[in-house]
Amino acid sequence: MSLPSLSFCIVDDDLSFGKSLKRLLNARGIAADYFGSAQSFLDCVPPEQPGYAIVDLHMPNCDGLGLLGKMQEMRYTMPVIIITGQAQADARDLAMQRGALGYLQKPFSGESLLELVTKYEANNSIQ
């Protein structure tokens, strides 16, 4: 597996952060799209699209866990990584319980994000 074959959808109401993460992934040669809200993601991305969703926990109207729930309802195939600026232990537990692939607290390095994904990919290919 090579990294450039991955693709990410970034969902965060913080434009500056979303843009920077997209820039970082693109610099590594990884495709990434940025969405400013849960609704615009749902509108633009079909459920069968491969890749990963990086979703901010705190967003107005529909927050990260809400989007996670909707994606499961609509049978999206892409795993979801929850990111947040807040450090709440119970939020991590909740996200993992609800079936998130991972939980990262801002600021996180590009390495830690990709590590999470490669581990997951490796597990999947073994199976």
The contact set with other proteins (CB under 8 A) reads 14, 16-17, 19-21, 23-24, 26-28, 58, 83-87, 105-110
In the complex, the smallest distance separating the C-beta of residue 84 from other proteins, rounded to whole angstroms, is 8
In the complex, the smallest distance separating the C-beta of residue 28 from other proteins, rounded to whole angstroms, is 6
In the complex, the smallest distance separating the C-beta of residue 61 from other proteins, rounded to whole angstroms, is 11
Q: Which residues contact 6 (CB under 8 A, 6 or more apart)?
A: 30, 31, 51, 52, 117
For other proteins, the closer CB: 76 or 103: 103
What angle (nearest 5°) sits at the alpha carbon of residue 77, between those of residues 105 and 32? 55
For other proteins, the closer CB: 47 or 93: 93
For other proteins, the closer CB: 24 or 62: 24
**79 Rama class: left (phi>0) / alpha (psi -120 to 50) / beta:** beta
In the complex, the smallest distance separating the C-beta of residue 69 from other proteins, rounded to whole angstroms, is 18
Alpha helices in 12-126 (DSSP H): 15-27, 38-44, 64-73, 89-97, 110-126
* Residue 50 to residue 53: CA distance in whole angstroms: 10
Beta-carbon-side half-sphere exposure of residue 103 (alpha carbons within 13 Å)? 21
For other proteins, the closer CB: 34 or 76: 34
